[in-house]
Amino acid sequence: MNFMSDHGGYCNAFTSLIETNYHFKVSNDALEEGLDRMAQFFISPSFSAESAEKEVNAVDSEYNMSL
């Protein structure tokens, strides 16, 4: 998050019924590193089991609000 904001951008995600969309915006000069950082999220996630549980609960809450 800090890298993205330090380079004029942001990152976010949303989950629909059938997919999750991850997206980010960053300045052109930081695009290559930004892409690598985003890819590393999927290659080698760095969140704890506790963080994963919190995210599952957040996605579940968003889903239930949509019902």
DSSP symbols for 23-47: EEE--GGGHHHHHHHHHHHHHS---
Domain count, the chain: 1
10/19 Cα distance (integer angstroms)? 21
Enumerate residues 6+ apart whose C-beta is below 8 A from 27: 7, 8, 9
The pair of structure tokens assigned to 39 is: 């890819």
The predicted pLDDT at position 24 comes to: 92
18/10 Cα distance (integer angstroms)? 24
pLDDT at 53 over 80: yes
Region 27-50: what's the mean pLDDT?
89
The model carries a pTM of 0.61
Domain range for 59 = 2-66
